[in-house]
Structure 1
Amino acid sequence: MHFTKVKGILSAKNGMNLYRGCTHGCIYCDSRSKCYHIEHDFEDIEVKENAVELLEQALKRKRSRCMIGMGSMCDPYMQAELTVRSTHKSLELIEKYSFGASLITKSDRIMRDIDLIERINSKAKAVIQMTLTTADEELCRIIEPNVCTTARRYEVLKEFQKRSIPTVVWLTPILPFINDTEENLRRILDYCFDAGVKGIVCFDFGVTLREGDREYFYENLDRHFHGLKEKYVRRYGDSYICTSDNNDRLMRIFTEECRKHNVLYKPDEVFSYIKEFDENKDQLSFFDM
């Protein structure tokens, strides 16, 4: 872990990444791609040491309240958060100024902040986004080795459900020849529906691979799935988008089941829900302060 100062923290769309790099070790991680220009070792987490200060300045300047997003490029609850606590401090500011929050994570460390997130949701809005890729616990330990498994993430979703905090699941990536099966899809959907998720993000069934990410992925295929790297090379070459041969069938099942359970599944609709800030709720909470 190392520290750096940055000039700004919020993007034009009100998203932020408090760290750079990750220690979860997911074998398919797109954030390893060279296009993101992470020059340091990926597991040597870069901490933006002035991020919380910059966030407060940015929130004070906002003319209207909105959703503040975390986790698009790095998990806000990786190991570094235990000591640095940038995510926790940022959530405190979001609550203080009555903004909304959306977080994308694979980690049950988010439970440390569940009370704080509940307060944000009572005043404005909070949306917890959890990634689920495989219902096979042993496979999960291989492809996402340094973070809690899917069964535990489901338990976390249930805890947020109990507190009426909305959740969204990222059903991606689904790795061709590894977890792109109907059984896996239906088991993950069972988790989602039982946990009462508001929406599920699934662009298609497959994985994206580009320079930096591809090499790390193939190294892990060689380590854990003998002969599978060669199968990927034959099937996809240097393609960025590697769509499962089962995509059409799985997408039909996904669409039908989401419709049946009244769960948002079109990406645009899910993202609109995540970004939508409840102005009426905001005004009520403001006058209660």
Structure 2
Amino acid sequence: MHFVEAKGILSSKNGMNIYRGCTHGCIYCDSRSLCYNMTHAFEDIEVKCNAPQLLEKALRSKRKRCMIGTGSMCDPYLPIEGELKLTRRCMELIEQYQFGVSVLTKSDLIVRDIELLDSINQQAKAVVQMTMTTCGEKLCSIIEPDVCGTRRRFEVLMEMKRCNIPTVVWLTPFLPYINDTEENLRGLLDYCGEAGVKGVICFGIGLTLRDGSREYFYSALDRHFKGLSDRYRREFGLSYEIVSAKHDRLMRILDDFCYKYGIMQNRECFAYLSELPEKYQQLTLF
């Protein structure tokens, strides 16, 4: 890892990325794409060491409280967070200034901060988002090798449920000929149902590949799924959107499940994640 002094921390939509790069090793990661202009090795994590100071300044300048999001480009609970605690320090500021927070992660390290999330949720709003791609632990260890498995992520969701912290699950990506099966989808949906998730985000049964991420993905296929990268090249070429042949059937299963259990999907989820109830928005002197 290496440290930088960032110039700013919040985006125009109030999202923040404290780290840049990742060590989870997910074979499909879009953040590896060349279009993001990363100037260092992906596993050499860039640490915005002044993130808490920048966040406090940004929060103090807000006219209204809002939801602060993190995790869109880089997991805020990478292993180095266990040592550096920058995400925690930022969450403490969100609690102090009574803003809301939405966190997207694959890591069970978030449980360390469950009391903090609970406090934020009681005084404003906290939402934990968890990505799950496969209910098979062996397969999970191949496509997401250096982060906790799906069963553990389900256990994290259950811990959030016990604290009444709302959760949203990202069911993405589904890799054709790997995890795009009805059995896998139903297994993931069973986890979602038992955990009482508020929403499910799924952009379709497939994945996206760009320059940079495509090469890394095909290299992983060559290591773990012999001959499959050739099949991808024949069927999908250099397409950005890689759509599974099972897309329509599996999406009907997903849609029916969400309708049956009153679970929000995609657009409704994004509105919910970005919306802080009006009664919490008004600022007072701290």
How high is the TM-score relative to the length of structure 1? 0.97
Structure 1 residue 279: Cα displacement = 2.3
Name the SS for the 1:78 alignment partner: coil
Name the residue aligned to 1:9. 9
The aligned residue for residue 149 of structure 2 is 149
Q: Distance in 2 between matches of 1:53 and 1:2?
A: 18
Matching of residue 99 in structure 1 with residue 99 in structure 2: yes
* Counterpart check, 1:159 vs 2:167: no
Instruction: Summarize deviations over 1:178-222 as a string: whole Å, max 9, x none.
Output: 000111000000000110000000010101000110010011000
Whole-angstrom CA distance in 1 between matches of 2:269 and 2:41: 34
Q: Which residue of structure 2 lines up, in the alignment, with residue 87 of structure 1?
A: 87
Letter in 1 for 2:16: M
Matched-pair contact (CA < 8 Å) for 2:64–2:281: no
1:130 lines up with 2:130 in the alignment: yes
Aligned partner of residue 3 in structure 1, secondary structure: strand
| Cα distance in 1 between the residues matched to 2:49 and 2:165 | 29
CA distance in 1, matches of 2:217, 2:229: 9
Amino acid at match of 1:272: A
Instruction: Return the alpha-carbon distance in structure 2 between the equivalents of residues 77 and 269 of structure 1.
Output: 26
SS where residue 42 of structure 1 aligns?
A: coil
Alignment partner of 1:272 is 2:271: yes
Counterpart residue number, 1:256: 256
Q: What is the rounded CA distance, in whole Å, between the counterparts of 1:80 and 1:163 in structure 2?
A: 26
Q: Cα RMSD (Å) of the superposition? A: 1.3
Q: Give the match for residue 72 of structure 1.
A: 72
Amino acid aligned to 2:268: E
Contact 1:65-1:98 within 8 A present in 2 as well: yes
CA distance in 2, matches of 1:61, 1:140: 42
Identity level (%): 60
- Structure 2: how far apart are the matches of 1:39 and 1:21? 10
Q: What's the TM-score once normalised by structure 2's chain length?
A: 0.98
Q: Which amino acid aligns with 2:269?
A: V
Q: Separation in 2 of the partners of 1:165 and 1:95?
A: 15
Contact 1:98 1:282 in 2 (8 A): no
Is 1:186 paired with 2:193?
A: no
Runs of 4+ aligned structure 1 residues displaced above 3 Å come to none
SS in 1 for 2:271: helix
8 Å Cα contact 1:77-1:110 kept in structure 2? yes
Q: Which runs of 5+ in 2 are unaligned?
A: none
SS of alignment partner, residue 151 of structure 1: helix
In structure 1, what residue type is equivalent to 2:77?
A: Y
- The match for 1:232 is 232
* Other structure's SS at 2:264 match: coil
SS at 1:40 equivalent: coil
SS in 2 for 1:73: coil
